[in-house]
Amino acid sequence: MKSGFIHRLLFLILLLGTACKVNYSLSGASIPDNVKTVSIEYFENQAALTNPNFPQIITEALRDKFLSQTRLKLVNSDGDVHFRGFITAYQSAPVAVSGNDQASLNRLTISVAVSYENKLDESQNFNQSFTRFADFSASQNLSSVEDALMNEIAGQLVQDIFNRAFLNW
């Protein structure tokens, strides 16, 4: 009797295990199995002022995210999922003032507008703006810290874009 019960239980577990399919990824995202490719257009600048390197930095950061943390194949165009983006704001401004009305902290703020198209499930498509910032000491010149700040902000923006596309936040 015990042997028959155990066999039926094992059969049931195997049956359930093969009927359920779960997607795992390093990022925690849930990318449907039918999505195989991703295409990411170069982010164009539409901001009044920007560092000329930032479009390349954000584009490459987004591409690297997909190459390193998903199973998707990066293609030049017409991916199953497709991203297009524009830099819409790039500004540095004081955010903290010391007792003598001098800025003690500055902030670099960058905004991007992103269009996401899922060719296999159009209900997932979106157009959304994302904004992130990083602070730096007013005693530092922006040009001396700008590369590090741009990379930090690009990483945050890429995570926001990725989360919006595949974690539905």
> Which secondary-structure segment (H or E) carries 81?
strand 81-97
Closest CA to 27 of 164, 169, 163, 165: 163
Residue 99 has pLDDT above 60, yes or no: yes
Start-to-end Cα distance in the chain: 50
Closest CA to 133 of 104, 156, 114, 164: 156
Q: What pLDDT score was predicted for residue 8?
A: 55
Residues 6+ apart with CB under 8 A from 139: none
**pLDDT tens track for 24-77:** 344 456 788 899 999 999 999 999 999 999 999 999 999 999 999 999 999 999
Domains in the chain, start-ordered, CATH in brackets? 33-166 (3.30.160.150)
Residue 17 has pLDDT above 50, yes or no: no
Residues 6+ apart with CB under 8 A from 70: 25, 26, 27, 29, 31, 38
Residue 84 has pLDDT above 90, yes or no: yes
- Whole-prediction pTM: 0.80
Residue 90 has pLDDT above 70, yes or no: yes
Residue found under tokens 């890429």 = 158
